[in-house]
Chain A
Amino acid sequence: MLISSAVYKTANIIDKYGQQFFYHNENSVEKKPFFIIIGIYIRGVNLNIFYMIFFYPIELLMEFFMSGLFSMTGSYGIAIILTSLAINTIMIPVFWYAEKLQQRERDIQALMAPKIMEYKSVFKGYERHLYISNLHKQYGYHPVYALRSLLGLFIQLPFFVATYNFLSHYTAVAGVPFLFIGDLGKPDMLIPMLSYNVNLLPFVMTGVNLFSSFVYGKLLTKAERVNIYVIALFFLVVLYNSPSGLLLYWTCNNIFSYFKSVVFVKQLQKTQKSPEPAEI
């Protein structure tokens, strides 16, 4: 906990420094570290424009679902679950496209891997660089193509950020109970332990997440699998104190993500084929 607290504090310092550096007027926009993430900063451009273009429409869409589904069901808890389902359904083609791009990258990397290992075992320095470059050339590949997987991420980023922004400021759920959760606007504190109340939902969410990772992990290399397990545990710490409404949303999101993974794994395994060197 000490380590995570130290990391958390460091992150805050960097975030604040970033804010001073990246924003002209600290009060003009709400703090939005994702602008720092994507590194878009052009002096003189009002960053609100980016917010309005990339995130606000998605927040509007979420609001539309939440209020519509609440008026239909009369429960904010059920509205959160159904909104999560709706957003996931809308996102399926985007996820599929991004996944295919990444799979293509993985396929060609896997195909070149034995030769790259061979060259690494016998060549050094410049000679190794030249042989690997030629291997890339013969497979019609360039290391820059690895950015293809970044494209998929850029498509998804606005959804992540907008979802978070919307749910963390959605005042309608403050003080609203759902099933065993006392207040959707606050951490659940469901497990009493000595003088503390431990939050249950973050562990439920992480459990689902790890299970989903296990299914998705069948497609990945060992190193990639370790990465996603680390991320799952990492966000347990990070989101531990979040409002239970948000955790309910992400838990549902991860359940739907699990089913999505099951289908994707099957589909991708069906369509996997061995590419050959490109015509030169």
Chain B
Amino acid sequence: MLNIIAVFLIYFMFVGDNAHAYLDPGSGSMLISALVALVTIVIYMAKSFVYDKVKVLGKKSDLPDLNREYNIVVYSEGGQYWNVFLPILQELEARGESVMYFTSRQDDPGLTYEFKHIEKKFIGEGNAAFFVLNKLKANIVVMTTPGLGVLQIKRSKGVKHYCHITHSAGTCGSYKAFSLDYFDSVLVGGSADKNLIAELEGKRKTPAKQVEIVGCTYLDVLRTKLAGGNYSYNLFAEKRPTILISPTWGEHGLLYKYGKSILNLLSADKNFNIIVRPHPQSFTSEKSVMDELLSAFPDSDNLKWDREKDPLKAMYHADIMISDFSGIIYDYLFLFERPVLTFKAQFEKRGREAMDLKDETPDIKLLDRIGKTLQESDIPELVSIIRNSLSSKSELADVVKEAQEALTQFPGESGRRSADFIQSVLKK
């Protein structure tokens, strides 16, 4: 359409009743390019203006003191990341550092946690939170939110150092594009993310970040919980090998695509117990599919739906997991060292960091070694695949050890190592 308009514009520009100019092919193409460029620029500028200026600010009462110069600011999008920050906050508290904990959710457990040196404040979500973060003054800001300087959270001139901490034992390959490019430092679980970030920096020619391997903070919290918790057998009356179906959400997720056929097959086999644990987001994003599955496969003596916040109980009971590319795979692997069957082919690389990497990331490669990677055509054979995987799970220990180096080093030390790093940045 734009091209047709351009041709007519040329006509009106160069043609009058007694004056004609003429274009040769090169110039004509040049003129069209210029006109298309002009229209594109106008549209681009208009979009930028609308997106930048038309913003809704949150309640004034949620605003923290933006003239204050904070020492350490930890920003959390909500309670789902509380386990990521807890070990770091505990360590910084013990060291007497002054910390401000901002959260975008009023139900964040961090708001009610007892600290001496750590202040806590709800700053609203969406644009209200972006407004605060974009005007902040601090020595260091630590957050799990990716896309600094790309999405809505921009680098504030008043912040001296931005530090990202990863929130999964998988790699940043599954993050969206440009997620970490404009951070000053990144706290990662293992060598895989360190190598991956260096590769992206080389390709995009972005400045080199400090990448510190600290381990996985939230896994340390789960480890502590597991050691002190009571997870005695009470889910099923009869003890049988238990399968945990624990996929991600969305239309590429396992339950969305193959839920019916898999549950049909497994629930009919009374030699297994089955726990179905959909991603919490599935009950919002694909509610009709979930409702259909819930009514077709209700709780029974060998099938239970698990919607508890804490995934540990379900993981504890399971002898094998079936998933797709959800981060819970790695939690299960590193905490329990049990096999995982995955539908890996569904991983959508487009728009993610993985798209710009030469090879597949170690977390994706690992899926072939911690259990079979499946395709739709394998579903009829699923029962025998599960039996084989359960009988060969002793080989997993070596794989897990190797994977720990790449994905989650220093179990139990992540809080201390993270705090050490933050203090080293402050000293500079």
- Smallest CB-CB separation from A123: which chain B residue? B351
A246 to B176, CA, bound (A): 59
A147 to B34, CA, bound (A): 6
> Is the CB–CB distance between A216 and B47 below 8 Å?
no
Smallest beta-carbon distance A189→chain B, Å = 19
A69 at the interface (CB under 8 A from B): no
B222 at the interface (CB under 8 A from A): no
> Is the CB–CB distance between A11 and B350 below 8 Å?
no
Q: Give 8 CB contacts A-B under 8 Å.
A: A15-B12, A33-B14, A102-B33, A130-B152, A146-B37, A231-B25, A234-B10, A264-B26
Question: Using Cβ atoms and an 8 Å threshold, which residues of chain A touch B41?
Answer: 143-144, 146-147
Smallest beta-carbon distance B129→chain A, Å = 16
Q: Which of B10, B16, B26 lies in contact with A31, CB distance below 8 A?
A: B16
The interface of chain A, by Cβ under 8 A from chain B, is 7-8, 11-12, 14-16, 31-34, 36-37, 95, 98-99, 102, 105, 118-119, 121-123, 126-127, 129-131, 133-134, 138, 143-144, 146-147, 149-150, 152-153, 156, 160-161, 163-165, 168, 209, 212-213, 216-217, 220, 223-224, 226-228, 230-232, 234-235, 238-239, 242, 250, 253-254, 257, 260-261, 264, 276-280
The interface of chain B, by Cβ under 8 A from chain A, is 3, 6-8, 10-34, 36-38, 40-41, 44, 47-48, 51, 149-152, 176-178, 181, 203-207, 348, 350-351, 355
Question: Using Cβ atoms and an 8 Å threshold, which residues of chain B touch A99?
Answer: 26
A238 to B21, CA, bound (A): 10
> Is the CB–CB distance between B37 and A149 below 8 Å?
yes
A153 to B28, CA, bound (A): 9
Main secondary structure of the interface of A (DSSP, over half): helix
A152 to B34, CA, bound (A): 10
> Is the CB–CB distance between B150 and A224 below 8 Å?
no
> Is the CB–CB distance between A33 and B16 below 8 Å?
yes
> Is the CB–CB distance between A164 and B22 below 8 Å?
yes
- Smallest CB-CB separation from A279: which chain B residue? B205
Main secondary structure of the interface of B (DSSP, over half): helix
Question: Using Cβ atoms and an 8 Å threshold, which residues of chain A touch B149?
Answer: 134
> Is the CB–CB distance between B206 and A138 below 8 Å?
yes
- Smallest CB-CB separation from A122: which chain B residue? B351
> Is the CB–CB distance between B28 and A227 below 8 Å?
yes
> Is the CB–CB distance between B24 and A253 below 8 Å?
yes
A218 to B243, CA, bound (A): 60
> Is the CB–CB distance between A227 and B351 below 8 Å?
no
> Is the CB–CB distance between A15 and B17 below 8 Å?
yes
Q: Which of B21, B31, B205 lies in contact with A280, CB distance below 8 A?
A: B205
Q: A11-B12, A153-B30, A231-B7 given as contacts; is B151 within 8 A of A277 (CB)? A: no
> Is the CB–CB distance between A147 and B16 below 8 Å?
no
Question: Using Cβ atoms and an 8 Å threshold, which residues of chain A touch B350?
Answer: 118, 121-122
Q: A122-B350, A138-B204, A231-B25 given as contacts; is B19 within 8 A of A12 (CB)? A: no
A150 to B38, CA, bound (A): 9
> Is the CB–CB distance between B12 and A224 below 8 Å?
no
Question: Using Cβ atoms and an 8 Å threshold, which residues of chain B touch A147?
Answer: 34, 37-38, 41
Q: A147-B41, A152-B30 given as contacts; is B21 within 8 A of A164 (CB)? A: yes
Q: Which of A11, A160, A220, A226 lies in contact with B16, CB distance below 8 A?
A: A11
A250 to B6, CA, bound (A): 23
Question: Using Cβ atoms and an 8 Å threshold, which residues of chain B touch A32?
Answer: 19
A227 to B34, CA, bound (A): 13
Smallest beta-carbon distance B181→chain A, Å = 8
> Is the CB–CB distance between A7 and B11 below 8 Å?
yes
Question: Using Cβ atoms and an 8 Å threshold, which residues of chain A touch B6?
Answer: 227
A3 to B250, CA, bound (A): 52
A234 to B22, CA, bound (A): 11
> Is the CB–CB distance between B204 and A224 below 8 Å?
no
> Is the CB–CB distance between B34 and A143 below 8 Å?
no
Question: Using Cβ atoms and an 8 Å threshold, which residues of chain B touch A15?
Answer: 12, 15-17
